[in-house]
Amino acid sequence: MMLEGRTILVTGAARGLGAEIARCLAKHGADLVLADIAEEEGHAVAKETGARFIPLDLGEPASIEAAAKALGEANGGTLHGLVNNGAIATGIGGIPFDEIDIESWDRVMRVNVRGTWLMTRAVAPLLKAAGTGRIVNVASDTALWGAPRLMSYVASKGAMMSMTRSLARELGPDRIGVTAVAPGILTTESTDYVPEARHRLYAEGRAVPGAQGPGEITETIAFLLSEGALALTGQILPVNNGFVFN
């Protein structure tokens, strides 16, 4: 129960990895607030985990501000942790870099990069008020090894890693720890579209061979949200069973 008494906001929590993160954090005693654009599924995960749900569209600044305001009013102005998990990850792969539609590129950057920045900015006062705030950015190891035919996603996750390091220095004086996890391909519905050859590349190339389920990285995220994780601020952790080392 290392998160007992700590209020944690998880974005993109309605399905896939986000839902698994919510289940893990609930197990560790967190007071959870879940946010997603998919309201019906988000409410279902919230009910399952005993969490509150806030509708959130990371592509819309007004939605982000409204979510932060609702969170502050409902929780006495304090937040102990933020998991920036919400992102566009499907429908953008398998396309050569010179064939990516500009509108698609801008949409990925708007949600994955700008949305992460604006969400962090919006709740930073709440994290500062807690005195032990923690931010975990969910990046991707594709930005570490340079996955081909996935340029907009890779670029967005590389940006998240860079923001992690910069934010760690800006928020460090307030004792807010900022880290990022960089998973590889996980066995969630969001990776169903990935070609079998890419799944096989990961399964055979990991130091710990085989498929990797989301439950294998959620415990790491739970620890990074704890009070004891401050010493790791600024670090990028490839949680991919040894497919790539940082």
What is each CA distance from 206 to 16, 28, 69, 236, in whole angstroms? 22, 28, 42, 18
Radius of gyration (Cα) for the chain, nearest Å?
17
CB 132 within 8 Å of CB 149? no
If we measure between CA atoms, which residue out of 117, 7, 8 comes closest to residue 58? 117
The active-site residue, picked from 6, 51, 153, 156, is: 153
Measure the CA–CA gap between 31 and 5, rounded to whole angstroms: 7
The H or E element spanning position 46 is helix 39-49
CB 68 within 8 Å of CB 122? yes
Residue 230 contacts by C-beta under 8 Å, 6 or more apart in sequence?
A: 132, 134, 175, 177
**80, HSE (Cβ side, Cα atoms, 13 Å):** 22
- Looking at the DSSP bridge assignments, the partners of residue 102 are none
**197, HSE (Cβ side, Cα atoms, 13 Å):** 3
Tokens of 237: 């952790």
**20, HSE (Cβ side, Cα atoms, 13 Å):** 17
Active site residue 202: no
CB 88 within 8 Å of CB 116? no
Catalytic residues: 153
